[in-house]
Amino acid sequence: MLKKILKKLTNNLGFKLLAVLFAFAMWLVVYNIDDPSSSKNFTATVTIQNAQSISDMNKCYEVIDGTGTVSFRVTAKRSILEKLDYSDFTAIADMSLMNVSDDGTEGSVPIAISVNNYTSSVKVSGLTKYLKVSLEDLQEKQFVITADTKGKVADGFTLGDVSVSNPNVIKVSGPASVVGQISKVVATIDVSGMSVDISDNVVPVFYDEEGKTVDTTKLTLSSNTVTVSAKILSTKEVPIHFNTSGTPADTYSVVEITSDPETVQIKGSSSVLNPISSLEIPAEVLNVDGANKDITTSIDISEYLPDGVSLTKNSQATVSVTIRIEPYTTQSYNIPVSNISVNGLDDNYNLAFGQSTVNASVSGMSSDLSSLNANSIKGSIDVSSLGEGTHTVNVTLTLDADKFVQQTTTTDVTITRKSDGTTTTTPSNDDNNKTSNSESTGNNTGNGTTDTTGEGDDTKTTGDNGTNNNNSTGSDSTTNGH
């Protein structure tokens, strides 16, 4: 049986082998007809490697338009080609392989294209490609960031300190032609309607000398954002109070102090502003020593602001101050002797004023003098060193020494020894032609009674030992020592 099978297999062997080869050829023809080879163009973005090699040359580069991508043709079976896209290819430009032009302004870098998938089934043509770049000197520079605001804070509040942090200095690097345009860097925060402190991250803006923005797309920045903080402070308007030091010339006085402006607006935290009712300028700032005319001067009030307080406007710092200085005027007052106290009178003596009033001249400002009233002025005399008789004594008035100057004031007084017993005397007022009566009763050695009755200006004394009539004319008033 086996022999029959082998005989059949080997019978006509050559024809059978030819048939197999023919069948394979037919399959190959059919296969190529159903899945033929095809070609397709692809575009890939060029990836740059080793860019630091350009910086090491103290240069920076910019890809010339149209060379940042590369196009190439791919040939493969249709079934494979249909599966490919741009991500299956990599285009790399190694900057360390750059060829630099003689003038150093341009460079060309070979682009290496590689296939990521189906490597053995894909054929890439057009591999000789170059990345074209322009070259420029590299410049690095640091800028202090300036803080700014936009918008208006809430009513009753004002803007305090505005600061930049994280960072407050920014470093930029890039083409010298771009870095050289930068004049300042500003970070702006919006404070519209704010009544509390605010902080925000903002993108700094670069400006040239003309205030135009500088395009930074070609620059490398040390930080893309910075933090800007703004303090929102309360405001308050307070009057300015002035004090003076020194003493004007004799018989001159400070009448008033005025300033322009009279009030100032200050700012600070509510806890600091609440207790402040005025801005006090120290007395040593305004010295009027020896002055006999008005003084006009300017002072910087910002030096005298309390800690934590500042002016809402710096233009208010300088204040014009006028000190009015005027001479004293003198006015006379008839002060009742009942307002004059007697010091130093021995208990054994009586004292009589020569008149019912003391005429006193007082100097001062008119406004102050008008507030004085003769009946309200008090004074005193000192007779501790005087004996019996009529004397002229100085009267010391009780006045505010800061407002008034008393001219020398004297009055006549008569001191007499008391008779035995207690004597009560009511002063007579000759200026008004009034009658004063006094009566004294006591026990004499002779057990007699002494009555003294004054009628008009006459005094009459009667006793057991005889009668003594004493008529005298005068304007003396009598008081008891104490």
Does residue 4 lie within any of the structural domains? no
200 and 268 co-located in one domain: no
Same domain assignment for residues 113 and 188: no
Give dist(CA 276, CA 236) in Å, integer: 9
pLDDT tens digits for 93-113?
A: 999 999 999 998 999 999 999
- 173 DSSP 8-state letter: E
Only one residue has tokens 């006094």, namely 438
- Say yes or no: 95 and 121 in one domain: yes
Same domain, 344 and 438: yes
Residues 277-304: tens digit of each pLDDT: 999 999 999 999 999 999 999 999 999 9
Same domain (yes/no): 336, 319: no
Domain boundary among 179, 201, 233: 233
> Is 119 in the same domain as 145?
no
For residue 372, the one-letter residue type is L
Distances (CA, A) of 226 to 102, 146, 153, 230, 413: 42, 11, 22, 13, 91
Same domain, 344 and 471: yes
128: number of CA atoms within 13 Å, CB side?
Answer: 0
pLDDT exceeding 70 applies to what percent of the chain?
80
Cβ proximity of 67 and 130 under 8 Å: yes
Same domain flag for 310 and 335: no
Residues 453, 458, 459, 464, CA torsion sign: negative
Are both 318 and 438 inside the same structural domain?
Answer: no
Alpha carbons within 13 angstroms on the beta-carbon side of residue 416 total 13
Task: Pick the last residue of a domain from 70, 104, 127.
Answer: 127
Is residue 25 one of the residues assigned to a domain? no
What CATH number corresponds to the domain at position 319?
Answer: 2.170.120
The rounded distance, in Å, linking the Cα atoms of 245 and 281 is 11
259 in the same domain as 393 = no
Candidate from 41-50, 111-120, 135-144 with smallest mean pLDDT = 111-120
Residue where a domain terminates, one of 105, 127, 149: 127
Question: Could you tell me if 367 and 454 lie in one domain?
Answer: yes
Residue 16 lies in a domain: no
Residues 6+ apart with CB under 8 A from 273: 234, 235, 236, 266, 267, 309
User: Is residue 323 a contact partner of residue 295, using CB atoms and an 8 Å limit?
Assistant: yes
**pTM, whole model, 2 decimals?**
0.52
Which CATH number does the domain housing residue 410 bear? 2.170.120.30
Position 374 pLDDT exceeds 50: yes
Residue 382 has pLDDT above 90, yes or no: yes
> Can you give the pLDDT at residue 125?
85
Q: Is residue 196 part of a domain?
A: yes
> What domain range is 96 assigned to?
37-127
Split into its structural domains, the chain has a count of: 4
Side chain identity, residue 117 = N
Q: Is the dihedral of CA 219, 221, 225, 231 positive or negative?
A: negative
* Sign of the torsion angle spanned by Cα atoms 39, 44, 46, 47: negative
